[in-house]
Structure 1
């Protein structure tokens, strides 16, 4: 294997570790545990309006779903990797979510995902998180003037 192949294999393994930690925290929707998957200075665009910066804001984001989401599972698929440094990489692809909402209602969604994952104090954590829906069409407005 060459260095680039080794880097992708390592990034894939690190992302699997992050995904497992996220799923363990989301199994009983625990805002504190979910926040622990992120660096203290993480940048976060999630499924609600606004931008969450830092652990406190990210915890508030996850806590805003308490009573709405009982449980969630995430599978990161079709991921492509870009090595940013020996201890940091970008992963971009799709996230397939399965939710159990209050009252036992089931919900599924597939979102575009961009994550920057960094090794901090011996643990792989999310440093930047951006999930969004796939647009139905290009965001071009207006006409010939």
Structure 2
């Protein structure tokens, strides 16, 4: 995991902690374990339409991939960290995803990542998650005029 930590002493440990927990939960695609990586009030934009708010909605999101994703591995790369508070960091960069889909089919995706990682009850968890594809062109419609 590449990081910039100039302004984020300790952020690398926080990010590495949630990163390892996410990969452990995704190894056999476990919706409950994946949800446990997030705070109860987390905000979440993932790979499906819609906005997931809170643990129940985030669990539903991960459960929607059961039978589709057998396992996943995420490598966080080119991450830049900003300390928001002693117990909270913003991380932004890219995620390299390797999936094993139903039937053993491999798949790979590179997405932009933004995470807010917060310490709650002595555990680092994801409080905000926004992953998206990189647009091929700016999302501007219409012409000048």
Q: Same fold (TM over 0.5)?
A: yes
Aligned positions, number: 141
SS at match of 1:135: coil
Kindly report structure 1 stretches of 4+ aligned residues shifted beyond 4 Å: none
Q: Is 1:136 paired with 2:144?
A: no
**Greater fraction of residues in helix:** 1
Deviation per CA, 1:69-88: give whole Å up to 9, x if none.
00000011100111111100
Counterpart residue number, 2:96: 96
1:110 aligns with 2:119: no
Deviations 1:78-110 (A, max 9, x none): 001111111001000000000000000000000
Higher relative contact order (CA 8 A, sep 6+): 2
C-alpha distance in 2, partners of 1:72/1:9? 29
Post-superposition Cα deviations, 1:43-82, rounded to whole Å, max 9, x if no partner, equal 0000000000000000000000000000000011100111
Q: What runs of 5+ residues in structure 2 fail to find an aligned partner?
A: none
Unaligned runs of 5+ in 1: none
Output the aligned Cα RMSD. Answer: 1.1
TM-score, with length taken from structure 2 = 0.94
Distance of 1:62 and 1:77 partners within structure 2: 22
SS in structure 1 at match of 2:10: helix
